[in-house]
Chain A
Amino acid sequence: MSDLLGLNAVAAREALDKKAISAVELTTAYLGAAEATAGLNNYVALTADHALAMAAESDKRIAAGAAGLLEGLPIGVKDLFCTKGISSTACSNILKGFVPPYESTVTANLWAAGGVMLGKLNCDEFAMGSGNENSAFGPAVNPWQGKDKVDLVPGGSSGGSASAVAARSALLATGTDTGGSIRQPAAFCGVVGLKPTYGRCSRWGIVAFASSLDQAGPFTRTVADNALIMTAMASHDAKDSTSTQTPLQDLIGAVGDGVKGMKIGVPKEYGMDGMDSEVVTLWEQGQAWLRDAGAELIDVSLPHTKYALPAYYIIAPAEASSNLARYDGVRYGMRVDAETLDGMYEATRAAGFGEEVQRRIMIGTYVLSAGYYDAYYLKAQKVRRLIKGDFDEAFQTVDALLTPATPSAAFPVGRKIDDPVTNFLNDVFTVPANLAGLPGIAVPGGVTSDGLPLGLQVLGRPFDEASLYRVAGVLEQAAGFKMTPARMAGGAA
């Protein structure tokens, strides 16, 4: 088999089972691809020996007829997941050198299903950002380029994951999504990214950003690949009190089920002023594709949509300010010595946290502080209920919602923006689903006139990922999107 990197995950599984390829071969090809595209800076640690050893075990299990769901498939892991014996830093200086003596539940599930770990992927520090520019390891780069050949961000915070899957330096990758950190980079990089329902994947062993919003999910090249890895990632976990016991649907089977008879909502509030006209065009195109495939398109209203972003920027920093208090230089990670305990805390946290993380800790601390709690935090939680209520009402009528994934295509690395709020606007379409705990998937729908990918987003009812895969499967087929990033390993297909 010459084009190992050209196989999607479903195809690779078939080839492995038929013994047309070996897991070691496949893994070797991906390790090579990761080396070849090192300039994208999407890996922060490549664990080659570990990967090859796991692949060899996979080959044994395949030979023994005991292959798991993901047997032999090379997977990159966002550095937010704690991986036993392997440096796990959340791309923060404050955790540099931290080697967890434990494995996150999600990654443990992947390895139990036969997945092969390639290494740790770049992300925004503590998952805070929309461009992967806030990483202690430097920015990850999008393998796609516009006509001016300027380096573009892969999106964030799971930028390394999206970049690696798009660049074919990982067949599959994990990410986490707190306000869009899977769906937005998936859209920017032209890959499929799912944020499952809150509670579907265990949060145990994942460095926490905002606990009530964080959810792990997969990046893949295709919708079918996504359903495959998702089936292995999800589990009920007694170690996570917010983990669901709702049984997982047949996701793999749902992909090809089509949308005939489904009611798809089009929320009018997602048509925002100043939105890229190409984004609007793609959104309309997506509606047409679904109508053509037999779905009924229904206009719906989610009136509180515009308040999701400001509510999010209260709730997420508030939770983060508390979640990040444990990085204090006492038990692990960086310590800057000082005479007093408080001096040590202050010096360590000033040196260990990057600018954006510090800014969010400050906001979070402020909105929770005495005298401001009601005006900010409590107000945001009330708005959160209204936003969820909007969705609950819409889902009385429709089975899923179709929206753009992002207001624009990927932007250049290092783009100077003085106003942090402008950066926050990247998450405008993705944040509401996090506040409501709903599943959302981003699927590539087309490219801009400059040749950059744009994505569509499908949102669904809680624990109804199957409907997302049905809709996403149809969109994928209709779009016929070709993955041709300029800086893809193995050259353009």
Chain B
Amino acid sequence: MSVDKTTVAKIARLARINVPDDRLEPLATELNGILNWIAELDEVNTDNVEPLASVTGHALPMRNDVVTDGNRLDDVLSNVPEGASGFFVVPKVVE
């Protein structure tokens, strides 16, 4: 598998990171270097091996259905780059 400029542009778009055109090629080279190295995993036989997503032995803990949070507008908005009348504000979204 090899990553080309188009793929890098696609990934950058998915990740919402602006990558200038002249960076696409070098990034593709870097990513390919890493991906080729990662390809070492192909040597490992993983037939009938279950994927392991979490190592803790316990089951998901659950909390009670009680309202314990909220009503803290000051905290929620304390770091906001742009806000107005209790809202977060972003450039207009066109659907």
Contacts and interface: CB of A to CB of B under 8 A. Distances in A.
Interface size class of A (residues with CB under 8 A): 35 or more
**Most central of B37, B63, B91 by chain A CB within 10 Å:** B91
Consensus secondary structure, chain A interface: helix
Nearest to B74: A101
Given A333-B79, A366-B3, A366-B31, A379 B46 contact: yes
A350 B15 CA distance: 10
B40 A310 contact: yes
Given A99-B79, A386-B46, A366 B52 contact: no
Given A346-B18, A362-B8, A362-B31, A388 B41 contact: no
Nearest to A370: B14
A69 B60 CA distance: 31
B8 to A, nearest CB: 7
A54 to B, nearest CB: 23
A344 interface: yes
B70 interface: no
A212 B53 contact: yes
Contact of B41 (A310, A321, A325, A363): A310
B88 A313 contact: no
B11 A365 contact: yes
A366 B11 contact: yes
B43 to A, nearest CB: 8
A382 B49 contact: yes
A329 B81 contact: yes
A241 B60 contact: yes
B86 interface: no
Contacts, number: 159
A400 B72 CA distance: 47
A70 interface: no
B34 A378 contact: no
Nearest to A236: B61
Contact of A349 (B16, B33, B56, B78): B16
A365 B15 contact: yes
A314 interface: yes
Contact of B52 (A382, A419, A462): A382
The 5 closest A-B pairs by CB, nearest first: A437-B55, A381-B51, A332-B79, A385-B52, A350-B18
B65 interface: no
B17 A358 contact: yes
A382 B51 contact: yes
A366 B1 CA distance: 12
A419 B81 contact: no
B50 interface: yes
A304 interface: yes
B46 A310 contact: no
A214 B3 CA distance: 29
Interface of A: 97-99, 101-102, 198-199, 212, 238, 241-242, 244-245, 304, 306-307, 310-311, 313-314, 321, 325, 328-335, 337-347, 349-350, 353, 358-359, 361-363, 365-366, 369, 372, 375-376, 378-386, 388, 419-421, 435-437, 462
B58 A343 contact: no
Nearest to B38: A310
A475 B77 CA distance: 50
Residue among A244, A245, A330, A343 with the highest chain B CB neighbour number at 10 A: A330
Contacts of B18: 346-347, 349-350
A126 B52 CA distance: 24
Contacts of B33: 419-421
Nearest to A381: B51
Given A314-B38, A376-B38, A386-B46, A321 B15 contact: yes
8 contacts: A101-B74, A306-B40, A310-B41, A332-B80, A362-B31, A366-B7, A369-B11, A436-B55
Contacts of B82: 335
Contacts of B11: 362, 365-366, 369
Interface in B2-53: 3, 7-8, 11-12, 14-19, 27, 30-31, 33-35, 37-44, 46, 49-53
A307 B56 contact: no
B85 interface: no
Contacts of A310: 37-41
A345 B15 CA distance: 9
Given A313-B38, A379-B41, 12 more contacts: A97-B79, A310-B40, A331-B88, A333-B81, A335-B81, A340-B92, A343-B91, A359-B27, A362-B11, A372-B1, A385-B49, A386-B46
Nearest to A98: B79
B90 interface: yes
B55 A311 contact: no
B54 interface: yes
A380 B41 contact: yes
Contacts of B8: 362
